[in-house]
Amino acid sequence: MISMVIRLGMLWLILIAVVPVCLGSVANVVTPYRPIGEGLCWDDSAFPIRVNLAEVGSIGKIPALDVAGAARNAMGAWNRALAGQMFIEGSGPNKVITAPVGVDAGYVAQAELQDHDTLITSFTITVNTSVPFSMNFEGDAEAYDLETVLVHEFGHVLGLDHPVSDAARVVGTVVAGSEYAVCYIYPGTTRIMCPQGKGKVMRSPGPDDVTGVKAIYGW
């Protein structure tokens, strides 16, 4: 049996190999995606996943009520994309929190997953209040769009990792030195699991993100 913690954020990733029990990686030839490790997932009985928003606080000038609203919108984006109830608000250990982690922490937000034998058992999404956030739908060049970041983190919660350069080999193209090469060799496509920098607004999963989740769970 294996029990561990995996932390995944917008700007960095710790990857730990585990014994797979989920369906694992199936690469779409046009838009590759990647699951966490060798495949982490929730048991089907865990859905809908209850998300506790009681510890959400304000971020800069964004009041706690609006931060919680952004989390609800991000949950709803995945529910709509997957045509089902993946997430609902409720009590319990699965939570979104805000904390002043520091500008040098290495991430804008991170999803910390608790798992046992490759089944995810709980999670905490931490939004780093030390970095600037915005809720401007047009984007803010000096800040990260809060809802976009949360949709990305909930993708980690469902078992999706960041696309990486190895995935580019599916079409025989590798961009040397770029962890996120696959995000740039298909400029006409959109993936919420690619890094979303300051000023970028993408408030729903892309088709490839949806394909990835469906493949992991066999839906």
Instruction: Give the domain range for residue 138.
Output: 3-208
Predicted confidence (pLDDT) per residue in 197-212, tens digit = 888 899 999 888 888 8
- Report the 10 Å Cβ neighbour count for 46: 15
Predicted confidence (pLDDT) per residue in 59-85, tens digit = 999 999 999 999 999 999 999 999 999
Q: Residue 154 above 90 pLDDT?
A: yes
Within the chain, what is the greatest distance between any pair of CA atoms? Answer: 47
- How many domains are contained in the chain? 1
Domain-embedded: residue 219? no
DSSP for 110-138, please give it. Answer: EEEEEEETTEEEEEEEEEETTS-EE--TT
Domain-embedded: residue 193? yes
Query: Which residues on adjacent β-strands are paired with residue 51?
Result: 89
Predicted confidence (pLDDT) per residue in 102-137, tens digit = 988 889 999 999 998 889 999 999 999 999 999 987
Q: What percent of the chain has pLDDT over 90?
A: 49
For 150, what's the count of Cα atoms within 13 Å in the CB-facing half-sphere? 29
- Higher pLDDT among residues 89 and 173, named by residue: 89
Domain-embedded: residue 82? yes
Task: Give the CATH number of the domain where residue 114 resides.
Answer: 3.40.390
